[in-house]
């Protein structure tokens, strides 16, 4: 299975995430693969998460290359460091992105 689809499927299966109990918003992930852009939406409502390929107006848009995103999903790349390096662009509610990072795996040793 595609690592991105697998990551978002796992989030969907979790359904509820206590770490996001105080979080509400829509994140859109725009993953570039050459000229193509793959879009994923994560909606969080007081810890309840849902994933879709189409969604409402996002509060936060995260844009990066698909390959880098896959490194983030599997814990090989630190998302915050990638933002600081300019490899990941975040528009809109940055706090929502910071909260989302709680769902990411930590770097493997």
Q: Kindly report, residue by residue over 31-52, the tens digit of the pLDDT.
A: 999 999 999 999 999 999 999 9
N-terminal to C-terminal alpha carbon distance within the chain: 24
Per CATH, the number for 3-100 is 3.30.1050.10
Q: Kindly report, residue by residue over 65-102, the tens digit of the pLDDT.
A: 999 999 999 999 999 999 999 999 999 999 999 889 88
| DSSP class per residue in 46-58 | TTEEEEESS-S--
Pairing mode, strands 24-33 and 48-52: unpaired
For residue 43, what are its two tokens?
Answer: 């909606």
Global pTM reads: 0.91
What CA–CA distance (Å, rounded) separates 65 from 49?
Answer: 24
The full set of domain ranges for the chain reads: 3-100
What CA–CA distance (Å, rounded) separates 65 from 87?
Answer: 8
């Amino acid at each position: 299975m595609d690592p991105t689809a697998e990551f978002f499927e796992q989030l969907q299966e979790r359904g509820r995430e206590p770490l996001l109990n105080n979080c509400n918003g829509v994140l859109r992930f725009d993953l570039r693969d050459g000229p193509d852009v793959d879009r994923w939406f994560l909606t969080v409502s007081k810890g309840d998460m849902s994933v879709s390929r189409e969604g409402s107006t996002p509060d936060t848009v995260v844009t990066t290359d698909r390959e880098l995103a896959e490194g983030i999903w599997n814990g090989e790349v630190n998302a915050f460091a990638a933002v600081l390096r300019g490899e990941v662009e975040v528009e809109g509610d940055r706090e929502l992105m910071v909260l989302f990072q709680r769902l990411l795996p930590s770097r493997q040793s």
